[in-house]
Amino acid sequence: MRIGHGYDVHRFGPGDELVIGGVRIPHHSAFIAHSDGDVLLHAICDALLGAIGRGDIGRHFPDTDPRYAGADSRDLLRAVMAQVSDAGWQLANLDATVIAQAPRLSTHIAAMQRKIATDLQAAESQVHVKATTSEGLGFCAREEVVAAHAVVLLQSLANG
Ligand code: MG
């Protein structure tokens, strides 16, 4: 077994849509980011890379590389999962938390879980996403950012 943790945060800027967990959510702003700014998928990428001891998303997809400008983070997640598989591991389960004062995410969670499970070649029952506010405290509460934490457990393909 291997365990990995990932964290990411993105700031709001001008725009009318957020992408979180691969789901497009209408909002009064968008993420400022080199890619689509999908904090949840970035945290999951970092958790997977951490679990197999291969650094973080910035090392594999540098934000100075024009190839990743406006990148669909689902493409990044699938590329990371391919590395996980090549290294001989598969997902046991994923647990993630998105911290956002706004927008409210509860109606989008099921769609996020479906997309993430597809990209991780896993069943929906292996993928759990939760959303919380920050109780009016800190930068999340001022509606300046969305943050995400992710923890993954991997199991050896040889034992799967
Ligand atoms: Mg990021």
Q: What is the mean pLDDT of residues 124-148?
A: 85
DSSP 8-state assignment for residue 55: -
pLDDT of res. 94: 98
The Å distance, Cα 63 to ligand 1 centre, comes to 9
Helix (H) or strand (E) holding 60: helix 57-60
The Å distance, Cα 42 to ligand 1 centre, comes to 5
Using a CB cutoff of 5 Å, list residues around ligand 1, an ion: 8, 42
φ and ψ at residue 42, rounded to 5 degrees: -65, -40
The Å distance, Cα 160 to ligand 1 centre, comes to 31
> Is pTM, for the whole model, over 0.75?
yes
For 61-114, how does the pLDDT look when each residue is reduced to its tens digit (9 = 90+)?
998 899 888 899 999 999 999 999 999 999 999 999 999 988 889 999 999 999
